[in-house]
Structure 1
Amino acid sequence: MSRPQQVVRPIVRSLRQAAGSPTTCSSRPIALRQFSSTPSRKDETTSTTTTSSLAGSSPDAQKLAADAVLLDSKKTVRASSTIKQGTEEDLAQLMSPQLGSRRRRAALATTGNVPFEQLPYQCFQEARKILAQDREEKVAKIVAETAKIKRLEATDASVYRGGEAYKQRRLESLRKYVEELKILADINDPMVKRRFEDGQGDMNKPVYRYLAHRKWCSMARKIIMQRIEQFHIVPDLLPKFEPVMDVKMTFRGYKAPPGAIMDSRITETAPTLQMQVFDKGERLFSIVVLDADVPDPENDSFKKRLHYMATNITWSPTKDTLSLGQIGSEAASASPDSGALAVPWLPPTAQKGSPYHRLAVFILQHTNNSPLDTAKLQELYNGQGRDGFSLKSFRDKFDLNPVGFTMFRTVWDDNMADVMARHGIPGADVEFRHKRVESLKPPRKARGWEAKRQGPKYRHLWKYTKRIKGVKY
């Protein structure tokens, strides 16, 4: 018997008794298990009365019987002042397709339309009072430190022994302390955590940037650092590199985890990047996609090839999505903040028999937010300039700082030849095979008793000897 039926059984029993009909009380006309052919108890085997037998009874009895059937079929609803308990699988039934904690969403689903900050839990409300008092103290400190910064800015630098350098260091330290106080004032607020879990946080506020950075460092950054070491991005492409921003990549809606091998049909078009920075202010970015494993049969080695380059992309903490295929289009040309296309997207390819190709996506920040000359980049790297591209040389020549990274891999698959034919990329008929390396040691002569007696003098013993490697019979 299910749990709802066990809860509803006393209600059905009381309704039958209130009806006062001897037929309903004695013969149990209402079946308690509507979708089963077997009785739930032994005493239910005598239940033979149907709704047709109630036709002659009073209207009140029929109404009560119908209410009993309705109550028997419905599930019970918990009171609005209790939170649903159970395993994660049970709570998953109450979840809506949105971000957030399962426990919190289960609580919201079982408390009706009560606002989150007004949930009727005494411990929760007392904790909010303590947090409000702590926030008032932090706000008072912020006001005091802000006034101190204004006084310091108005003071002449000649008053200090260190001069202007000391004044700027002191101002930077005070501003950093004010940012920390802003984070501490709201870090424990349940409403702040709720908005962040639901993806509704304002990234202009330092507390949401702090929470996003902490979430990224907990797992995503560790995976990126592992891929950088695992696939030898350092030192093959850069001598030293540590990412400071979150970068995710999708192709036509398909997620591309760092280091995943992607199908050539999906990577035929430029990807979409989800980029998140954790410090305030606007900055200029350049995006570079290069293949680090292009075979060079003439020199028996590998070289690099540039597959995409965009520059002068304005970015801020409030932005999160950038479609590389839209940069340089007519719709994007109307907005100068969308960036300029220097080298269009070239689909990544790999010949049959070659090892996997590492396609690295680098985000480089401009020093002092100075824009780059797009015409010069097109002259240097478009066309023949794709082959032999050096990321380190590009970084040093234009004074850029790598801040973000992600990658994917490509190998020969069933659709690679069609992709190369559509885009006019040669090499689809080339197949690489492993070259056999001959030993540098001289041939070794046969040794042993039998090897010494293989001459004509011992012809009569040949039939008794075993086959010796290198000796023909």
Structure 2
Amino acid sequence: MSARALLAFRKSFSPSGCLGGRSSWARTMSTTAPDAVTSSPVDNAPPPSEGTASTRGRKKKCPPKRAPISHASPREWCRPLAPGVLPAYDLALDLLKADSAQIKSEAELLRTKIQAAEEQRLEETSKQGEDTLANLCRLDEELEVLRKKLKILEVQSEINLPDVRWKVANAMPNLAKTVDRHLLEQKWRREGDLDLLMERLHQMKVMPDVLSELHPSIDVRLTVSSLGGIPGKANKMVEPGTFLLPRQTFDPPKLYANVYHTDTRLYTLVLLDADVPDEANATLTTYLHWMQPNVPLSADHTSRILDLNKHTKYIPPHPQQGTNYHRYVLLLLQQPPRGASHYSLNIETRAKPNEPTSIHLDIPIVSDRRRKGFDLRSFMREWGFDMRQGGGAHMWREVWDEHVSTVYKDILKIPEPRYGRPRKPDPYAALKQTKRYNS
């Protein structure tokens, strides 16, 4: 038999179907122990457990579950490509790092210049004379310009690095870094959250009904009871302008805030109902549901805002029966700065840890009788609030249902009012009181 015929003969009897290959049975025989040759490995395999898929006695492998990323279990930046896979990508990273190093060196020189200007300012402070105040104002203006330039350099030095952007996008920012705070603020301002808030405030006439002007500087978020609407979640996030049930606000909403300044500033919490009927004047007035002054906030505060019910106690929203929907406006009013007319980078940089840069306000508690008709504009003028310079805002809506009666009965302890359309005058009301026919 020729060599070619012998190879064809072997191929026809090879279970693997490839020339010169060995069958799976032969491979198994070559790897098993001598005392297990007489039995098939499939016969000796344990039966698959009930309820699990198997293929020829093997359990199906489930893909591993990815561990959650958080501050408690952080994960480093995962490069899309390993070093050396794509030289062009490695070169791009090297160029970004070189540009970052160059900008950081410029920032370091600017820090030295700022430090020298601060020392000069301290020398001027110790002097006494007519020109001292003017020199201090001039130095403060120059320092403010230099610090603004330094902030720009600190952002530009790292904003293009992929690992910095990856950590911010995966909720692992380092709020001590200027670039991370900048990216978080730009995300809030450019990705729709701030636009949605301002759209709802303008569409629902919160401005000018409640405020004349508003420029939010912090991102305020609320959660309320989900009432079992979201499986596995006791609370749900409130979208600005959405409708809530009165039962969801029996307890005070939980407040959170993303703050972008490093100094500790004080805020005053105010919650108003803008649509309370005023029967005497045949119009609508406001009702103060909640107030808490001197709430300290800074970029380091990332958890829920606590201790908010120690001043003017929270009273749940109670839209009156027969009225249209009520607008509930929550504001975080930024209290005035100490020793200046407005906040600046100079104040933020010179601030001491945990020492507020705002004026502490001794606002008296608002009594229950004065809650209705609370004049927010007069209150802001009296205590120096200006929402054009910053603060936070949120809002939602509610309508009456049968659970509102619980608030009137158990908390307010007054009869529940009921409103409706005024009755049309009846021209025959007097005639109806008399007999039609004489007896």
TM-score normalised by the chain length of structure 1: 0.65
Q: How many residues are treated as equivalent by the alignment?
A: 351
Query: Residue 360 of structure 2 corresponds to which residue in structure 1?
Result: 371
Query: Residue 346 of structure 1 corresponds to which residue in structure 2?
Result: 315
Query: 2:174 aligned with 1:174, yes or no?
Result: no
1:338-390 CA deviation, whole Å, 9 max, x = no partner? Answer: xxx3200011101221011111101111112111114xx11xx2221211111
1:410-446 CA deviation, whole Å, 9 max, x = no partner? Answer: 1111322223322134343x332223678xxxxxxxx
Q: Which one-letter code corresponds to 1:435 in the other structure?
A: P
Q: Which one-letter code corresponds to 2:359 in the other structure?
A: S
Query: 2:25 aligned with 1:19, yes or no?
Result: yes
SS in 1 for 2:239: coil
CA contact (8 A) 1:202 1:318 kept: no
Query: 2:223 aligned with 1:250, yes or no?
Result: yes
Q: Which one-letter code corresponds to 1:254 in the other structure?
A: K
Distance in 2 separating the partners of 1:309 and 1:12: 81
Query: 2:409 aligned with 1:421, yes or no?
Result: yes
SS in 1 for 2:270: strand
Q: Which one-letter code corresponds to 1:185 in the other structure?
A: S
Q: Which one-letter code corresponds to 1:19 in the other structure?
A: W
Pick the structure with more helix per residue. 1
Query: Residue 199 of structure 1 corresponds to which residue in structure 2?
Result: 171
Q: What's the CA shift for 1:210?
A: 0.6
Query: Residue 223 of structure 1 corresponds to which residue in structure 2?
Result: 196
357, 376, 379: which one aligns with 2:326? 357
Query: Residue 85 of structure 1 corresponds to which residue in structure 2?
Result: none
SS in 1 for 2:148: helix
Cα 1:256–1:425 shift into 2, 3 Å:
farther
Query: Residue 62 of structure 1 corresponds to which residue in structure 2?
Result: 41
371, 379, 383: which one aligns with 1:394? 379
CA contact (8 A) 1:362 1:406 kept: yes
Mapping of residues 69-468 of structure 1, within 5 Å: 69=55, 74=60, 116=79, 119-120=82-83, 121-122=85-86, 123-155=88-120, 163-218=135-190, 219-252=192-225, 253-323=235-305, 326-328=307-309, 341-368=310-337, 369-374=358-363, 377-378=364-365, 381-402=366-387, 403-428=391-416, 430-435=417-422
Cα 1:65–1:220 shift into 2, 3 Å:
same
Q: What's the CA shift for 1:124?
A: 4.2
SS in 2 for 1:367: coil
Cα 1:393–1:382 shift into 2, 3 Å:
same
Q: Which one-letter code corresponds to 1:232 in the other structure?
A: K
Distance in 1 separating the partners of 2:377 and 2:282: 23
Distance in 2 separating the partners of 1:357 and 1:58: 83
Distance in 1 separating the partners of 2:324 and 2:89: 58
SS in 2 for 1:343: coil
Q: What's the CA shift for 1:61?
A: 4.7
TM-score normalised by the chain length of structure 2: 0.70
1:119-162 CA deviation, whole Å, 9 max, x = no partner? Answer: 344354333222211111011101111122233334477999x8
1:246-293 CA deviation, whole Å, 9 max, x = no partner? Answer: 111111422221111111111011111111122221111110001111
Q: What's the CA shift for 1:166?
A: 3.3
Question: Matched residues, percent identical?
Answer: 25
Distance in 2 separating the partners of 1:426 and 1:404: 33
Query: Residue 29 of structure 1 corresponds to which residue in structure 2?
Result: none
Distance in 2 separating the partners of 1:62 and 1:410: 69
Q: Which has the larger radius of gyration?
A: 1
Cα 1:372–1:76 shift into 2, 3 Å:
closer
Q: What's the CA shift for 1:243?
A: 1.3
CA contact (8 A) 1:306 1:387 kept: yes
Cα 1:65–1:321 shift into 2, 3 Å:
same
Cα 1:131–1:383 shift into 2, 3 Å:
same
Q: Which one-letter code corresponds to 1:311 in the other structure?
A: P
Cα 1:59–1:273 shift into 2, 3 Å:
farther
Distance in 2 separating the partners of 1:435 and 1:16: 97
Distance in 2 separating the partners of 1:114 and 1:198: 10
CA contact (8 A) 2:240 2:396 kept: yes
Distance in 2 separating the partners of 1:71 and 1:177: 68
